[in-house]
């Protein structure tokens, strides 16, 4: 029997068992030869006498036998190309599936399906793609649940063993944390056969070698056991090793999540700065106040908050939110709740250093002359991201993150209302910056005291959008008549004429400082 070629790169969805396609009664397919089990990766239609050059492997090949002359050679070539199954359509060429073709499929072990005349090949293709989409959705849900379980485990008192235990549970296998010398640090799950365990240790040494060109991961098989090893980033030769009976399409993603968590949790093997930041996050999760953890983040540690929503209105899953955070350069991402489509990202702000004295034509600093002060922190350069609408806050200390979160939300609402991909909350500048903040805040509280928070938010949004009823309605997700009613109520409570520019200016000043 011909030897099948090496498997091609995996498809964008898990393979579909042949039994699932046969169970679709509306297709009317019937297996008449070959084994009952097969995995379908693609669908391809061809009436060529030899379609071998155009097959990738794993296809359900559909044909009506227009050029079928030698069934034995035809089936042999399909098996050699790695086809998963053959669907033969009866009529208009053949009134029934040729016996010689049935015998050849039985002989070569290729599943043969009879396609009734009333079932178009395109209907079968659509059914396979639909099953693939459903399988991919199930796999994404499984990966998301695994991610949530691993994150929960990472917050436990003994996070490393908890993550390994959860990983072994999610993958139904063995998860081991090894040193470069193959010593077991932690392990969870059922221990594999001794020979498989030895092969896993050897695989771990492949990725743990501290030399240029060492792979970040490696895989192997031992009998029916699948082995995988991943080097932990930021560690000193630590390796996550896995031994599982099977290999699902999403397993690599789940393992990748565990690698990131374990890399962060291996605090003794991290640099001091990374360890301090991890410690600050852990202490915040355990109930410490921002003031208590601020020293761990460094004296120059202002932060920027980013709010993001998908431009098409869809709710992003955890993986999509994580990808956005990675592109922004932060692992601090909140994908939100099921009823909240907003993704929140926390970024460290950069600092503008004073230019070196005497550089770029600057006059050198004379003895006794004070140094130029450090400039205030500026928000990171956040470019627009296709498919997303972003609202970015100005840099703020850790103790004022709640305020930054509110400002990022307002910036996002403004961006959505004006249909712009990115809006950065503008810092206080110009004449407004000349008024002491405490006096400005006191004036704002007095002036806006009659307004409830919903009314104040509506007025702020309406003023920021130059009095546009429709854009304000879009930004607040309410009807334009609701906006009119709220603005009218604001005018009554404040006893002002909102058509007066002086009134609008004073209110805008107050609303920016409340």
CB 315 within 8 A of CB 418: no
Please give the residue range of the domain that contains residue 488. Answer: 434-511
Give the lowest-confidence range in 10-24, 273-287, 359-373.
Answer: 359-373
CB 237 within 8 A of CB 179: yes
Please report, for residues 35, 50, 58, 97, 116, the alpha-carbon distance to residue 65 in angstroms, rounded to integers and kept in the order given. 21, 11, 20, 9, 14
DSSP single-letter state for residue 430: G
CATH code for the domain in which residue 464 is found: 1.10.10.2840
Task: Tell me which of 83, 115, 130 is where a domain ends.
Answer: 130
Q: Is the pLDDT of residue 355 over 80?
A: no
Residue 293's pLDDT is 66
Please list, in sequence order, all residues whose beta carbon lies within 8 angstroms of the beta carbon of residue 83, skipping any fewer than 6 positions away: 55, 57, 58, 59, 60, 61, 110
CATH code for the domain in which residue 255 is found: 3.30.450.30
Q: Is residue 306 located within the same domain as residue 402?
A: yes
Q: Is residue 248 located within the same domain as residue 306?
A: no
Q: Is residue 338 located within the same domain as residue 443?
A: no
Q: Is residue 418 located within the same domain as residue 469?
A: no
| Residue 147 in tokens | 């991610």
Please tell me which residue, 229 or 512, carries the higher pLDDT value: 229
Q: Is residue 441 located within the same domain as residue 420?
A: no
Q: Is residue 415 located within the same domain as residue 306?
A: yes
Q: pLDDT tier at 271 (50, 70, 90 boundaries)?
A: very low
Please report, for residues 130, 245, 330, 406, 493, the alpha-carbon distance to residue 455 in angstroms, rounded to integers and kept in the order given. 48, 60, 35, 16, 10
- Mean local confidence (pLDDT), 492-507: 83
Domain count for the chain: 4
pTM of the predicted model as reported, rounded to 2 decimal places: 0.43
CB 113 within 8 A of CB 22: yes
Average pLDDT, the chain: 78
Q: pLDDT of 128-186, one tens digit each? A: 988 888 888 888 888 888 888 888 888 765 677 888 898 988 888 899 888 777 778 78
Residue 245's pLDDT is 83
CB 86 within 8 A of CB 63: yes
Cα separation, 469 vs 494, whole angstroms: 20
């Amino acid at each position: 029997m011909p030897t099948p070629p090496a498997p091609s790169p995996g498809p964008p969805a898990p393979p579909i068992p042949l039994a699932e396609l046969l169970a679709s009664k509306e297709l009317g397919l019937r297996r008449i030869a070959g084994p009952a089990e097969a995995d379908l990766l693609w669908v391809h239609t061809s009436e060529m006498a030899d379609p071998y050059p155009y097959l990738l492997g794993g296809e359900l090949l559909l044909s009506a036998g227009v050029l079928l002359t030698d069934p034995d050679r035809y089936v042999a070539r399909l098996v050699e190309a790695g086809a998963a199954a053959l669907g033969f359509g009866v009529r208009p060429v053949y009134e029934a599936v040729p016996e010689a073709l049935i015998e050849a499929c039985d002989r070569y072990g290729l599943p043969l399906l009879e396609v009734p005349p009333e079932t178009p090949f395109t209907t079968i293709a659509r059914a396979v793609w639909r099953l693939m989409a459903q399988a991919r959705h199930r796999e994404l849900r499984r990966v998301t649940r695994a991610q949530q379980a691993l994150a929960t485990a990472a917050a436990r008192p003994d996070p490393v063993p908890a993550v390994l235990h959860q990983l072994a549970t999610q993958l139904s296998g063995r998860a081991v944390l090894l040193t470069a010398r193959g010593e077991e640090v932690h392990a969870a799950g059922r221990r594999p056969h001794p020979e498989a365990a030895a092969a896993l240790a050897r695989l771990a040494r492949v990725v743990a070698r501290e030399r240029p060109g060492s792979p970040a991961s490696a895989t192997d098989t031992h009998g029916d056991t699948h082995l995988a090893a991943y080097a932990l980033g930021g560690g000193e030769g630590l390796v996550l090793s896995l031994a599982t009976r099977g290999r699902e399409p999403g397993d690599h993603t789940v393992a990748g999540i565990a690698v990131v968590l374990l890399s962060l949790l291996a605090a003794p093997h991290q640099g001091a700065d990374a360890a301090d930041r991890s410690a600050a996050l852990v202490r915040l999760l355990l109930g410490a106040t921002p003031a208590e953890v601020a020293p761990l983040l460094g004296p120059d540690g202002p932060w920027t908050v980013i709010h993001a929503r998908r431009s098409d209105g869809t709710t992003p899953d955890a993986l999509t939110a994580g990808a956005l955070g990675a592109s922004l350069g932060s692992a601090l991402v909140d994908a939100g709740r099921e009823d909240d489509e907003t993704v929140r990202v926390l970024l460290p702000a950069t600092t503008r250093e004073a230019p070196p004295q005497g550089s770029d034509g600057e006059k050198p600093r004379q003895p006794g002359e004070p140094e130029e002060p450090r400039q205030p922190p500026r928000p990171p350069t956040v470019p627009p991201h296709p498919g997303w609408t972003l609202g970015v806050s100005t840099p703020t200390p850790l103790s004022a993150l709640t305020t930054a979160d509110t400002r990022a939300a307002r910036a996002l609402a403004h961006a959505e209302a004006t249909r712009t991909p990115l809006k950065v909350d503008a810092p206080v500048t110009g004449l407004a910056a000349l008024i002491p903040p405490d006096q400005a805040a006191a004036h704002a509280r007095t002036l806006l005291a009659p307004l409830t928070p919903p009314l104040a938010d509506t007025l702020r949004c309406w003023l920021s959008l130059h009095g546009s009823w429709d854009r304000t309605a879009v930004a607040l997700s309410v009807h334009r008549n609701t906006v009119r009613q709220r603005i009218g109520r604001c005018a009554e409570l404040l006893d002002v004429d909102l058509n007066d520019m002086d009134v609008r200016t004073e209110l805008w000043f107050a609303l920016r400082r409340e």
